[in-house]
Amino acid sequence: MLVLAVLSLLSAAIEPLWERMGLVRTLVPELAVHTARPALALVSVVLLLTARGLRRGNRLAWLGTLATLAASVAIHLAKGPDLVPALVIAVGTVWLGAQRDAFPVLPTRRAVRWAVTWTVAVVVLLVVLVVGLTVWAVSTDASDAQIERLGRIVVPVTYALVVVFVAALLWSLLSPRRPRRLSPQDHHDERERARLVVQEHGTGTLDYFALRDDKDWFFTGSSVVAHSVRGGVCLVSPDPIGPPEERGIVWAEFLDFADDFGWSVTVIGAAADWLPHYEASGLRTVYLGDEAIVDCPTFSLEGRSHKSLRQAVNRIARAGYTTTFHDPSAIEPALRAQIEAMSDESRHGETERGFSMTLSRLFQPEDTGLLLSVTRDPAGRVDAFCQWVPAAAIGGWSLDVMRRRTDVEGLPNGLIDANIVATIAHLADSGLRGLGLNFAMMREVLEGDPQDSSRIETLTRPILQRLSQGTQMGTLSTFNEKFDPGWVPRYVILDSVELVATQALVLAGAEGVTEIPVIGRFLGNIGSAP
């Protein structure tokens, strides 16, 4: 339908094509010879929009396309009869009609009411216009020349308004359905239900971020899928959470759920063990980068490779700084007030940004069991802190947010370094093992061995290296390397090729990107950290 619509539009708009592309013109209804080009243009616009709806499984687009094709068959039979074109189009119509199950998305009642209201309003407007012009012509005894001059103005304007109205009407009716809106209390209740699933089955370093306030939750069995729908794109992050034996059925049911609304699906920060399920469902895997995981019991500041980090930690210690550890839900009110004030001052922008690797909130009563590492000067002023969320898979914690004071001159360098090192020691003393740090975008491509690289990586590496010089892509990896982490690859999962551009834009917006798509919060976390 998309190809047919484009060719038909070109045929209607370009004079040589209008003369030569007879086959295209036979595939769409023509009202009469002298109105064929306007009619062809209008039908082309309709088919452009129904093609969009067909791609998203829209039932109304399916019905509209069938009606258009059926009308084409009838016109071919009536004007000729032209049996061959009519037979070809009829076969295509029958085939499309048999695919009913592929188009489950129904328009919302609100969209239908909107369409009916505006359709009635436009019809009334056109009737009033025609009646008004007729009355004017009769009352003023207008000449044929005057009526013709008026028609040259009114007819194109009316036609343009009809095209715009039809396009807006179909765009509204054939757009992906919006997710259901919950009341604040119902949304809170669903989040707490998701919290129970995360507490029982959440193991990954990103699983706690399923509880962000801007996410919704799809429940099936004992599992939950955290997601957010933006512009018809369903962003999923983290991977679905639940018992391992439910993975296949959970993902299949969630895709059915997304299909019912006409959404395309993107997964951000997917783990390697979920890739077979995504790929089996027809989605595409793209390497995104690596998450740094520190093994706390084996970490050491000794050795030449740790000289700069060791110097930073010693410098902070000589300045009299100390790092203490707290449960944010049980922290002292005075300390909490200090942290909130410092966080607001040091944050870039009005709100927290990010989607996949940050919780974007502090001190919510329901967030029990988190870890807050606070670094204070000798006078007790908070100059840096990090918040960590549970990560059972690595036997420890995963970084949520880090902040460093920026409103005081002369602060010693290395506050965040010292905070992280103190946290590593605290975990090791507590018998815990893993500490998840920042995400390093495209690390393997930037740092991989050119001899072992694919052709695509060889071509893209110089571009990424050039970009990294101005955007801190390389800084993230360098900063993390100071802590001798292990690297865990993460992926982005994309839908069909024609939807990738839209998904990339929505993903970039969700992560708060200001420099390069898909980096988002990963860059912002570390901007002033060292």
**Selected residue with higher pLDDT from 525 and 480:** 480
The average confidence (pLDDT) of the chain is 78
Q: What is the dihedral of CA 515, 520, 521, 525, to 10 degrees?
A: -30
**What per-residue confidence (pLDDT) applies to 113?**
73
Work out the angle at residue 505's Cα, subtended by the Cα atoms of residues 502 and 509, and round it to the nearest 5 degrees: 140
Q: Is the pLDDT of residue 521 over 60?
A: no
Q: Is the pLDDT of residue 434 over 90?
A: yes
Whether residue 28 contacts residue 43, with contact meaning beta carbons closer than 8 Å, is answered with yes
Which one of 138-152, 269-283, 333-347 scores highest in mean pLDDT?
269-283
Q: Is the pLDDT of residue 487 over 70?
A: yes
Of the listed ranges 206-220, 340-354, 437-451, 460-474, the one predicted with least confidence: 460-474
**What per-residue confidence (pLDDT) applies to 530?**
36
**What per-residue confidence (pLDDT) applies to 345?**
75
Instruction: Give the sign of the dihedral formed by CA 39, CA 42, CA 46, CA 47.
Output: positive
Question: What is the separation of C-alpha 99 from the centre of its chain, rounded to a whole number of angstroms?
Answer: 29
Q: How far apart are CA 386 and CA 375, in angstroms?
A: 9
Q: What is the dihedral of CA 471, 473, 475, 476, to 10 degrees?
A: 130
Which one of 37-41, 47-51, 378-382, 403-407 scores highest in mean pLDDT?
378-382
Residue with tokens 């908070």: 382
Q: Is the pLDDT of residue 176 over 80?
A: no
Q: How far apart are CA 340 and CA 401, in angstroms?
A: 13
Residue with tokens 């359709």: 119
Of the listed ranges 96-100, 238-242, 266-270, 461-465, the one predicted with least confidence: 461-465
**Which of the four pLDDT bands, split at 50, 70 and 90, describes residue 525?**
very low
| Residue 324 structure tokens | 């203490």
Q: Is the pLDDT of residue 297 over 80?
A: yes
Average confidence (pLDDT) over 12-26: 52
Residue 303, sorted as left (phi over 0), alpha (psi -120 to 50) or beta, turns out to be left
**What per-residue confidence (pLDDT) applies to 91?**
87
The bridge status of strand 396-404 relative to strand 322-326 is unpaired
Per residue in 243-284, pLDDT (tens digit) is 999 999 999 999 988 887 878 899 998 999 999 999 999 898
Which one of 370-374, 406-410, 491-495, 518-522 scores highest in mean pLDDT?
370-374
The per-residue DSSP string of 200-243 comes to: HH--STTGGGGG-TT-EEEEETTEEEEEEEETTEEEE-S--BS-
**What per-residue confidence (pLDDT) applies to 139?**
73
Domains in the chain (CATH in brackets) are 2-174 (no CATH), 184-288 (3.40.630), 290-490+508-524 (3.40.630.30)
Q: How far apart are CA 516 and CA 508, in angstroms?
A: 8
Q: What percent of the chain has pLDDT over 70?
A: 73
Q: Is the pLDDT of residue 459 over 50?
A: no
Rg of the chain, C-alpha, whole Å: 30
Q: Is the pLDDT of residue 322 over 90?
A: yes
| Residue 140 structure tokens | 């003023």
| Residue 304 structure tokens | 């030449």
Enumerate helices (H) and strands (E) in the chain, giving the number of each: 19, 11
Q: In what order do the strands lie in the sheet with 223-230?
A: 216-220, 223-230, 233-236, 264-270, 486-494, 284-295, 434-441, 396-404, 382-391, 371-376, 322-326
Of the listed ranges 34-43, 200-209, 361-370, the one predicted with least confidence: 34-43
Per residue in 33-52, pLDDT (tens digit) is 445 567 667 777 777 778 77
